[in-house]
Amino acid sequence: MSQIFTKNANTLARASLVAVVLAGGVFGWLIVAVPRSDYITRVDVPRPQPVPFSHKHHAGGMGIDCRYCHTTVETSGFANIPPTKTCMNCHSQLFTNAALLEPVRASFRNDTPLAWTRVHDLPDFVYFDHSIHVSKGVGCATCHGRVDQMPLMYKENTLQMEWCINCHRHPEEFLRPRDQVFNMQYQPPANQIELGRRLVKEYNVAGVQQITSCSTCHR
């Protein structure tokens, strides 16, 4: 009977040791990196929309306040996407012949809703509420980025649990005065931590323990 292991099996065995370590490393890296990659999180990727609605022109250029369209953002969990009627407040007179806006006019004529594609979509097992964040001084731009510079809507942040928790652990790093929540140009001052600590007290922000406990977001 011939030998099962030839001499160079030794080399193979040694090489495979290295290979296992490497493969483990690559695998570990994949586990960590793939779910965070833009391919999975779809950060910075604009989605096709029925009408190329531009926040840059409407909120940035003309300076229309977010609440003109997202009317319930201060009072409810859902920010509201405006009905076609809101567009027609202005577009009954402006760009009335533009082919670009035909879906809006058709929607108004036929009383059928426009079907926007969701850009931010948390899994259904997560509970999120806008009103509490807005009333405790978290700015729209902190989570959604510079919306006033987006020709088409995209996601600025991953919205992954890691990202939520990062702020829930250190809210003082992100809070701003309430009257600046809708201000897109707001820059945090040099003494942010100091200001943040003061605001945490002033706005009665719940303790870290409470807002990092699982049942706050998974209820």
**Out of 3, 4, 18, 63, the residue judged to bind other proteins by CB under 8 A:** 63
Residue 180 interface partner, choices ligand HEC, other proteins, none, CB cut-off 5-8 Å depending on type: none
Region binding other proteins by CB under 8 A among candidate stretches 4-12, 30-38, 141-149, 208-216 = 30-38
In the region spanning residues 120 to 139, those forming contacts with other proteins, defined by CB under 8 A, are 123-125
- Under a CB-based contact definition with an 8 Å cutoff, are residues 33 and 142 in contact? no
Residue 199 interface partner, choices other proteins, ligand HEC, none, CB cut-off 5-8 Å depending on type: none
- Nearer Cβ to other proteins (112/191): 112
- Distance CA(212)–CA(165), nearest Å, equals 7
- Nearer Cβ to ligand HEC (195/206): 206
- One character per residue 3-42, x = contact with ligand HEC (rule: CB under 6 A): ----------------------------------------
Question: Distances in Å between the alpha carbon of 151 and those of 49, 54, 104, 146?
Answer: 12, 5, 18, 11
- Burial letters 145-158, b for 16+ CB under 10 A, else e: bebbebeebbbbeb
- Distance CA(142)–CA(66), nearest Å, equals 14
| C-alpha count within 13 angstroms, C-beta hemisphere, residue 13 | 6
Structure tokens given for 86: 């809101």
For residue 175, count other CB atoms closer than 10 A to its CB.
28
**Out of 19, 81, 106, 193, the residue judged to bind ligand HEC by CB under 6 A:** 81
- Under a CB-based contact definition with an 8 Å cutoff, are residues 74 and 135 in contact? yes
- One character per residue 176-205, x = contact with ligand HEC (rule: CB under 6 A): -----xx-x--------------------x
- Distance CA(39)–CA(25), nearest Å, equals 21
Residue 27 interface partner, choices other proteins, ligand HEC, none, CB cut-off 5-8 Å depending on type: other proteins
Chain positions contacting other proteins, by CB under 8 A = 23, 27, 30-31, 34-35, 61-65, 67-68, 71, 78, 80-81, 83, 85-86, 88-90, 92-94, 112-113, 115, 123-125
